[in-house]
A and B are shown apart, each in its own frame.
Chain A
């Protein structure tokens, strides 16, 4: 079965609300594009992935050329090495391509799975849980967007997340990194965390992500950790840039003030597991590792989990920016990963991909369907998006 048609289509993906700043960049906004790659075979099977990362660094015309040289005409069975129903690596002919464009391998899992009527979960090693916990990751600096409410705005949105069924959420912090003065930013961060805890109650996980907003201000980071102890933060993410000395200092702060939060990072590791992160893992300075699910790709995540085996470090793939596709991609991974913690959920409104699996008690139910389990609403695609579908010629 050969790949005979490939197309690229930008599809707008909406958040249910405007998303504000994080510690270093301006507003995320309400809408982003998912650059959907559809690959069809002469056997009538279709697979999908997103090329957001390729477009972030390049142009549509380059992407079309890349897809042509990489995938057009390839045998589906040549994309992956599979032993006993489990993927062990890339196919020999595409190994180099998948190493440099790792977002492509999700397409291989989808196509191969559909061609053989097996799920990506199965190809990743098989289901280890019936439901994949997810967290609401949309709590940015919403206090800037609704300035009259300030920190209360974040708490209100947290309460809405709980009402929508989530049992975990992530709060962006690090306001003193760029947009506020350092002390005032730390104080607002504390107010936000305490306000959110009050809004969601005790039986709820709160994750905190500073996007390195406490770099060079370990004194303020210690204040933050101390003053938010009562909020029982579940994980502290990227409070500072990955660095052995800095993370050791954070461990000491945690011991001093009684913080049990996991320390997690790794989203910015573009070639995981790179040197600094290896040191952080070896020295037991992090508890969770977060290369992006699409950016690193399944094949690299298989290698990562092999490398993490025997450590206490858990798999927490970053997923922000991957849209609806990312929900499906992370869901398949989370269903098969023994040390997976929680799916980063952007809460994108549905478009052509569906149906989302049932969401109950803060978790997506695992439903094994061929490939990634994504069905495309072709009528909707033709009506709304086909005008911008560009074929690989």
Chain B
């Protein structure tokens, strides 16, 4: 029988950071469909404390992206007075199933799953990943995911604006990076857009050298423009991209063509997709069945540990070769740490999406960063501690106490 740890206190606070320094850092530009990602960024930090003195954390940004603080407040209220071990079945320090009483809440709010795993890990004095299984790797590779349409932020530099920032990423330690593409989709005249996409890939390859992994993501910017996509795949074959992500909205016919071009001109490149719908939509399974999807990408924080773990297990059981490449951009720091915990225990995990943001508020000493990889920490739970002095000084005045 596990000792009870009753949730007695929940606090929400928006915590802020910047790409680079406040007022002087980078502006991360647009992707193929949305406006600039921006300069200032934030997490909606949730701290959950038990009557036994444990405190776990998560980032409620997925909830705040879709709704109001009052809705998040009402959701978190449901946790007050609950034992951290009532959400999942736990046997021998392993989660074996979800309590149906809480399954819907956790499915709709994957970020809550993070704090439950954090608290369970702390209560059992094990890292969060150990609740899912044995560690399969000690370091998790990550990629810098901030190379948006920097050529539209710095138009005079054109493609070299992206190459310059790619070089900076390598100087800062990353060995992999993702380039946002799909310029024909919205912001460019289509022919100019594909020409720029190709130019960007080659400029970055030249800037970073042959050893660095280049991932590309078009956010479906080639929808309805398959001839341009064919040109792109053909022309960028020599750059040996690591993966092509969301080149078109997932559908079997287009993916068959894409695979045909990939096989012909860029055979080592993975085709990845599946950021939405938690990997459960039929289309993903159709693509997997036909060998058209090499990696699937539900969002780590939106999904939560257990649903992602069961997705990976289902793919394993199906016999499909599809790998796991969680989306994580909006989730910033806490989401990345979740990604690393999940990657530590998931054979099919490929690489972690890193928004490269740093928050002074968090102490995460166990997650050493070396040679583009994060060490998997041995600290209990998620291994994230809050700098309480800073919290009291800066964020206490902005916090909402859930009561």
Binding site for B on A (CB under 8 A): 10-12, 17-18, 20, 27, 29-33, 55, 58-61, 64, 144-148, 150, 177-182, 184, 383-385, 387-388, 390
Contact = CB atoms under 8 A, between A and B. Distances in A.
Contacts of A383: 156
What secondary structure prevails in chain A residues at the interface with B? mixed
Contacts of A181: 69-70, 73, 400
Given A144-B16, A147-B398, A180-B69, 20 more contacts: A12-B155, A29-B27, A29-B36, A30-B38, A30-B39, A32-B36, A33-B152, A58-B186, A144-B14, A147-B394, A150-B398, A178-B69, A179-B69, A184-B400, A384-B156, A385-B155, A385-B156, A387-B156, A388-B152, A390-B188
A383 B155 CA distance: 10
Contacts of B156: 383-385, 387
A85 B146 CA distance: 53
Contacts of B27: 29-31
Interface string B1-20: 00000000000001110000
A8 to B, nearest CB: 8
A59 B397 contact: no
Contact of A387 (B14, B22, B155): B155
Contact of A31 (B69, B153, B185, B400): B153
What secondary structure prevails in chain B residues at the interface with A? mixed
Interface string B42-76: 10000000000000000000001000111001000
B395 interface: yes
A27 B35 contact: no
B69 A390 contact: no
A18 B38 CA distance: 9
A170 B100 CA distance: 50
B230 to A, nearest CB: 18
A150 B397 contact: yes
A387 B187 contact: no
B375 interface: no
Interface in B156-203: 156, 158, 185-190, 192
Contacts of A18: 22-23, 39-40
Nearest to B42: A144
B10 to A, nearest CB: 13
Nearest to A61: B190
B187 A178 contact: no
B38 A27 contact: yes
B300 to A, nearest CB: 21
B101 interface: no
A366 B155 CA distance: 33
28 contacts: A10-B155, A11-B155, A18-B39, A29-B39, A30-B39, A31-B153, A55-B186, A59-B185, A60-B188, A60-B189, A61-B189, A61-B190, A144-B16, A144-B398, A146-B22, A147-B15, A147-B394, A147-B397, A147-B398, A150-B397, A179-B68, A180-B400, A384-B156, A385-B156, A387-B155, A388-B188, A390-B188, A390-B192
A10 B27 CA distance: 16
B281 to A, nearest CB: 26
Contacts of B23: 17-18
A30 B36 CA distance: 9
A150 to B, nearest CB: 5
B71 to A, nearest CB: 10
B271 to A, nearest CB: 25
B73 to A, nearest CB: 7
A127 B40 CA distance: 42
A182 B68 CA distance: 10
B189 A390 contact: yes
Contacts of B192: 390
A32 B397 CA distance: 31
A315 to B, nearest CB: 29
Given A27-B38, A178-B69, A179-B14, A12 B158 contact: no
Contacts of B73: 181
A178 B155 CA distance: 35
Given A29-B27, A64-B189, A145-B16, A10 B69 contact: no
A148 B13 CA distance: 13
B400 to A, nearest CB: 5
Which of A147, A383, A390 has the largest count of B CB atoms less than 10 A from its CB?
A147
A55 B398 CA distance: 36
A12 B153 contact: yes
4 A-B pairs with the lowest CB-CB distances in the bound complex, closest first: A384-B156, A390-B189, A148-B394, A29-B38
Contacts of B152: 10, 12, 33, 388
A145 B40 contact: yes
Contacts of B36: 29, 31-32
Nearest to B398: A147
B155 A182 contact: no
B395 to A, nearest CB: 6
Interface in B255-275: none
Interface string B230-257: 0000000000000000000000000000
A309 B224 CA distance: 50
Nearest to B156: A384
A18 B68 CA distance: 23
Which of B158, B395, B398 has the largest count of A CB atoms less than 10 A from its CB?
B398
Contacts of A61: 189-190
Contacts of B190: 61
Nearest to A380: B156
B68 A178 contact: yes
A12 B158 CA distance: 13
A132 to B, nearest CB: 29
Contacts of A32: 35-36
Nearest to B68: A178
Interface string B319-347: 00000000000000000000000000000
A27 B188 CA distance: 24
Contacts of B158: 387
Contacts of A59: 185-187
A11 B39 CA distance: 18
Interface string B383-403: 000000000011101101000
